[in-house]
Each structure stands twice: as structure tokens, then as C-alpha cells.
Amino acid sequence: MNTTVMMQEYRQQVEQALRGCFRQEPERASLYDAMRYSLLAGGKRIRPVLVLEACRVCGGRPEDAMGFACALEMIHTYSLIHDDLPCMDDDDLRRGKPTNHKVFGEATAVLAGDGLLTAAFEVMVRDSAALSPAQVAEGVLCLSRAAGPGGMVGGQALDLAAEGCDLKLPDLQEIHSLKTGALIRAAVELGAIAAGASQEQRQALDRYADKIGLAFQIQDDILDVVGEDALLGKPVGSDRAGEKSTFVRLKGLDSCRELVRRLTEQAVEALASFEEGEFLTRLAWDLSGREM
């Protein structure tokens, strides 16, 4: 199947599964409305697609990994809701729509994030009937580590502490390896766990995800300088407004573009041992040239 069609199909399957994650709870309607508002706001769904495809290239059935994929996207969405709050980045727009707290108020936005974070683990266990208890437990361990203080939340804490500081490149890389990279690495690891992948397959996917995760963040910094508001779904220049250290500030635009290209090449090289690495190859190059 052609990679564009595969991407469309994966995205449709993810959208459908995410829509089915919660039942309507009339007595807590506004909380569920707030959770659904952000979860179904039309993100690129890169992380869940990575889960499903990593599972497939390791010989598993993508549908068996759907509970893992939805859980990861729920955690990603919670992080965006909280990141947009006035006490964090204080953003008004996300995915081209008013941010969660602008629509539902701050207190409900905090709870919507908390609700998505905790429900993610419920969905992960509830919707993984095709996997063994050991696989589910390993998935929970993987995702909780990646999302928690040793992963994404830790990266966000370092990022906040670094505001106003002139960071050096290794420090910036460390922050983003946690803040952005941890969930991207978890995506392929979760797919590998669902497939019962070998150590070699896991290591190759981890290297791939490490490279695309860094390239993804550098491209994010590039887009913050040269992107278009309409495509990004948020104003460009928000890093400058917050006086943040970014890869573009430290290395300049041209070096960053070159770095994204080199990292993408390295990501693709990491896939050499997979017979069916075409989709992941195409995804890496698409992400390196993304405009949103």
C-alpha cells in the first residue's frame, strides 16, 4: 500500500478510536467536553501513528497496539493543555482553535489535562485485550516513565528553570530530549512492546526515534521563526516573545536546516535492518519538511 494512503488510514483509525475512548457522562459534561475539545481538535497524530507502524514493522498487528496509541495521544494532549495555561506559556491558540482554558476556564482546563493523563492509563489497560498482561504492564511502565518527572514533565521543569538563561547546546538538547523526545521514543517502544519485538528491533527503533525527535524539535524552532500562523495554528515568534533559548538562536537558521537534514538521514539509516521501513522513512522526511 502506498505510504500516503497508509497515513490516511492510520489517522482515520486513530480518530475513530479516540472518539470512542469516553462515554458521555451527563453529570460531569463540562469536564468531558473540555477533554474531548482538545483530544479531538485535529492534531497531526504523529505519536499514535508511530506506535501503530512500529508494531507493524516488528511483525505485530497495528490494531493490537491501538490502546497504547490512544493512551499516548491523550498524554500528549494533556501536556499541550497544561503547556498553554497562563502559568506556563500562556497561549491563546492551539491547532488553530482557542486554547482549552480560553474556552472552559483555567480550573476546568487543569482538570481536563488531569483527566486525560489518568484516563490514558485506564484506556491502555482496558483496550489492550489482545496483549498479554506482561506486555500491558511493560507498556504502562514505558509510558509512565516517558511522561513523568524522568521524561516529559522533567523536561518541562528544566525548560521553565532555564528561562532567561543563556543555554549551551548540550543543555538545550537535554531539555528537548526529555520534553519532546521522551514521548516520541515511547511511541516506537510501545509499538515494539505490542509486537513482542526483538532487542535488535527495539534498539534500531529507539535510534530512529531519538533522531526524528531531535529533528522534530529543531524544525519546531525553525517554524517559530519562518512559519506561518495560519498553518501552525498558533502565532509564530512565541519563543522570541518568551526570550527562550532555541536551536535557531544558538546555531542560526541555515545550520539548523542542515542539522534537521542530517538527523533525518541518520534516522533513516537506523531502519536498515527492517524489510518494510518505507513508511517510517517517508514519515521522517515528511516531518523534516513539515510546515505545521
Which CB, 80 or 140, lies closer to ligand GRG?
A: 80
Which CB, 43 or 115, lies closer to ligand GRG?
A: 43
Q: Which residues of this chain interact with ligand GRG, rule CB under 6 A?
A: 43-44, 46, 79-80, 82-83, 88, 95, 152-153, 156, 179-180, 217, 220
| Residues 49, 88 contacting (CB under 8 angstroms) | no
Which CB, 130 or 259, lies closer to ligand GRG?
A: 259
Question: What are the DSSP E strand ranges found in 24-66?
Answer: none
Q: Report in angstroms how near the CB of residue 106 gets to ligand GRG at its nearest.
A: 14
Q: Report in angstroms how near the CB of residue 224 gets to ligand GRG at its nearest.
A: 9
How distant, in Å, are the alpha carbons of 113, 156, 207, 239 from that of 89?
15, 11, 30, 9
Going 169 to 170 to 171 to 173, the CA torsion angle's sign is positive
Q: Report in angstroms how near the CB of residue 187 gets to ligand GRG at its nearest.
A: 11
Residue whose CB is nearest to ligand GRG in the complex, by number: 43
Burial (Cβ within 10 Å: 0-12, 13-18, ≥19) of residue 213: buried
Q: Report in angstroms how near the CB of residue 195 gets to ligand GRG at its nearest.
A: 23
Distance CA 104, CA 144 (A): 27
Cross-strand bridge partners of residue 97:
94
Which CB, 21 or 136, lies closer to ligand GRG?
A: 21
Cell of 23: 462515554
Which CB, 72 or 204, lies closer to ligand GRG?
A: 72
Which CB, 62 or 213, lies closer to ligand GRG?
A: 213
Distance CA 64, CA 122 (A): 16
Question: 491563546: which residue's cell?
Answer: 92
Which CB, 229 or 276, lies closer to ligand GRG?
A: 229
Question: What are the DSSP E strand ranges found in 17-96?
Answer: 93-94
Compute the CA torsion angle 39, 40, 45, 49 (nearest 10 deg): 90
Run of H or E residues at 234: none
Query: Which amino acid would we find at residue 150?
Result: G
Q: Report in angstroms how near the CB of residue 19 gets to ligand GRG at its nearest.
A: 16
Q: Report in angstroms how near the CB of residue 44 gets to ligand GRG at its nearest.
A: 3
Q: Report in angstroms how near the CB of residue 26 gets to ligand GRG at its nearest.
A: 29
